[in-house]
Amino acid sequence: MKRDFFFIWSTFYKYLNARMYVALILSLLSGAMEVFGIILLFPIMELLAETGSSSVISSTIEAVLKTLGIEITVANLSITLVVMFALRALLMFGALTYSARLRTSFVRDLRLRLLDYYASSGIGLLDQRQSGNLVNLISEQCNRSLTAFWLFNQSMMLFATFAVYLFASMFISPLFSLITVMFALLILITFKKFNTRINILSLQLAELNGGLSNYSEQFFRSFKYLSFTKDWSVLASPIERMVKDIEKRQFSSGRLLALSDSLKEPLIIIMLVSVILFMYYVKGLDISSVIISVALLYRASTSLSRCQGQWQKAMEWFGSFANIDNEFLFLETASHNVERQEVSEVTSFKLENVGYAYDGMPQEIFSNVSCIIEKPSLTVVRGSSGSGKSTLMDLLCGLRAPTSGTVTAVFDNSSLDSSQANIKVGYVGQNCLIFDGNIISNVSLKANNTTAEVKRICEILRSVGLERWANEDKSGIYRHVTNSGSVLSGGERQRLAIAREIYRRPHIFVFDEPTSSLDSVATLRINELIDRLAAEHIVVVISHKNDVFQQASNVLLISNPKNPGKG
């Protein structure tokens, strides 16, 4: 348990630093106020009993109060007791409020840090990670990490309270407290096996939830295809299997927690009663000291019991945070980010003997690719499936660095490696990205636009043949669309995507099979748009259609992984 505790503490500490101590300190002070209030019962009972004698504890308390100028009367002691518990409530409120603030900032920082890492990792991230797992990490696993931290923080605050009660009890009756602590340690050792098993189940659940998220994303992404083919079992079967595995492990974890919770209270009572009988009948301890010690130790025991319960639950959820921590370690190790230099206007690209091999691949997927792409021009990239056409575009735009050769962007009578330049790319793929929102937000990528921006967007929509969406009303640019783009035809989706890229004023336009799923009429309109853009900009198109090749300034042919050419 020691290793588990320090591992979890250090893992959380990496992200929260010294802020973790504030709630603990406030909890310690809160517990101290309550302990002092309970100990005040000693002199109050002696004054009410009118015995005339005073115990060592009462004498110590009276000396402290006299130093503070408080007269020793039942009324004054009672008022002091109430003040102590009021301060205790105030300090506990501060501890819980700060803890709530810490939790919200913790999960916010986790999500923003993940987003920042993913955004800066580039396209290579998806070579090694499944998108479903990434979505699961940033949503579900972050939520579970928040719960893990809340439970861990609660367990630490309860442990701080336990420590204060135990210290006070040791001060009043050292032998009584020592024997009780020995019993408590035996109980903790008993529950250690519960903790270990719950931790294992937590890690398994985190892994299964990641897999479930990934398969669920595939299920809905493939929904139309599965609707046609009726072959639901391809994805439904593994999803069903994972759901059942998750249910099994959740039940096992819940059963262990139920058994643990059921045993704690009876064990505490048995422990305290046994020690009380031993101390009273065997050691002849003064009953008043026993009563106060029992009150403090019972509070200490219940605090420790609740601490144990929260700790077990924290371990149940901690697997999710361990996954996120491992993801950060992976991203920090795999990150090869470089500072990119801002460029104004790119006038040409120069590829010299370019080749590329994916990590772990012994052979480059293409090599010795050389050409110059100037502004304005239309360059068509052609090649067999898997020859690396899209990868070549990644190199051209600086998303990847070549494993051999160089890709250079020329600008302002200067040049720079593409992977070191901040090249603004206008990208239109086969499946155009449509965002939840309206037509205008899909072009400008923001919620609010100035009058001048609205006017420019309407002009661009007309220029790409989307006249019916160019009106400034709810039937036009403010028409709501979902990410499925259901109100748009295939050709309209492509033209809306082109309008978005025109609005962004990129250095280069890249079209990846833009007409592969369109009919002849829609294809003709898209090709006309591409021709118009190529008259003023650098345009690169990946396509197999001959009608595009006929208009091209250059055709870059990748016939197989080892023999590229230029036509």
Secondary structure of 94-150 in the HEC alphabet? HHHHHHHHHHHHHHHHHHHHHHHHHHHHCCCHHHHCCHHHHHHHHHHHHHHHHHHHH
Q: What is the pLDDT of residues 133-145, one digit of tens each?
A: 777 788 888 888 8
Categorize the per-residue pLDDT at 2 as very low, low, confident or very high, splitting at 50, 70 and 90: very low
* Higher-scoring residue by pLDDT: 475, 354: 354
Q: How confident is the model at residue 534 (pLDDT cuts 50, 70, 90)?
A: very high
Quick check: helix, strand or coil at residue 432?
A: coil
Rounded to an integer, the average pLDDT of 100-120 is 84
Which residues are 481's β-sheet partners? Answer: 437
> 36 and 101 in contact (C-beta within 8 Å)?
no
Residue 448 CA to residue 451 CA, distance in Å, equals: 10
356-378 average pLDDT score: 88
DSSP state letters, 77-100: HHHHHHHHHHHHHHHHHHHHHHHH
Place of tokens 């802020």: 19
Flag the least confident range among 44-58, 104-118, 494-508, 536-550.
44-58
Closest CA to 42 of 276, 289, 272: 289
Q: Cis peptide before 376, with omega less than 30 degrees from 0?
A: yes
**Is 183 in contact with 271 (CB distance < 8 Å)?**
yes
Dihedral angle at the C-alpha atoms of 83, 84, 88, 90, nearest 10 degrees?
20
Rounded CA-CA distance 299/268 in Å is: 11
- The alpha carbon of residue 425 and the mean position of all alpha carbons in its chain are separated, in whole angstroms, by 28
Q: What are φ and ψ of residue 111, in 5° steps? A: -65, -45
Q: Give the type of residue at 65.
A: L
pLDDT in tens, 324-348: 888 888 887 765 556 778 888 899 9
Cα angle for residues 557, 559, 562 (degrees, 5° grid): 110
Beta bridge partners of 348: 374, 410
Band of residue 154 on the pLDDT scale cut at 50, 70, 90: confident
Q: How far apart are CA 338 and CA 403, in angstroms?
A: 16
Taken in order of first residue, the domains within the chain and their CATH numbers are 2-334 (1.20.1560.10), 346-434+488-566 (3.40.50.300)
| pLDDT at residue 561 tops 60 | no
The answer to whether the beta carbons of residues 312 and 257 sit under 8 Å apart is yes
- The residue with greater pLDDT, 45 or 200, is 200
Strands (E), 397-507: 404-411, 414-417, 421-422, 425-428, 437-438, 480-481
Task: Give the containing element (helix H, strand E) for 444.
Answer: helix 439-444
The residues, ordered by sequence, that sit 6+ positions from 560 with a Cβ below 8 Å of its Cβ are 384, 387
* Single pTM value for the model: 0.67
**Residue 189 phi, psi dihedral angles, 5° rounding:** -65, -40
CA separation for the pair 516, 530 (Å, rounded): 14
DSSP-derived letter for residue 372 is E
- Sheet strand arrangement including 508-512: 425-428, 508-512, 538-542, 377-383, 554-558, 564-566
Tell me the mean pLDDT in the region 258-277.
71
Average pLDDT, the chain: 80
